[in-house]
Structure formats: structure tokens, C-alpha cells
Amino acid sequence: MVQINLNGLEVAPLSDEQLDLLNNAQGKLNQLAKMNQQIYLLAVTKEE
């Protein structure tokens, strides 16, 4: 698994439209997945 530096990450303030797009993309990825696990997409921002 890839190591992700979580320092400074915060939940991104998404609009309803952005959240719908993210959830739809997540659903499509899970429909196409050829594994027995769920894929989760997260939206974050990072302090610079």
C-alpha cells in the first residue's frame, strides 16, 4: 500500500453538486471493481 502523509489534511468543504459527483464516481468504481472490497473516495485539502 502507498504511504500517504496525513499531516495538514482536512476534509474538503464540498458543495452538494461536488459531493454527488464524488459519490457517483465511487459507486461506478465499486461496480467495476473485480475485488471483494469496497473502494472509498475522500476529498481533502492540505495546508501549505
Q: Per the domain annotation, does 2 fall within a domain?
A: no
Q: Per the domain annotation, does 4 fall within a domain?
A: no
Q: Per the domain annotation, does 1 fall within a domain?
A: no
Is residue 26 within 8 Å of 41, Cβ to Cβ? yes
First to last CA, the chain: 25
Q: Per the domain annotation, does 31 fall within a domain?
A: yes
At residue 13, the pLDDT reads 97
Instruction: Look at the block and give the residue holding cell 476534509.
Output: 11
1-48: per-residue pLDDT in tens?
Answer: 689 888 999 999 999 999 999 999 999 999 999 888 999 999 999 987
Instruction: Work out how many domains the chain is built from and give that number.
Output: 1
Is residue 44 within 8 Å of 12, Cβ to Cβ? yes
At residue 45, the pLDDT reads 96
Q: Per the domain annotation, does 25 fall within a domain?
A: yes
Q: Per the domain annotation, does 40 fall within a domain?
A: yes
Q: Per the domain annotation, does 18 fall within a domain?
A: yes
pTM, 2 dp? 0.78
Domain with 35, as residue range(s), is 9-46
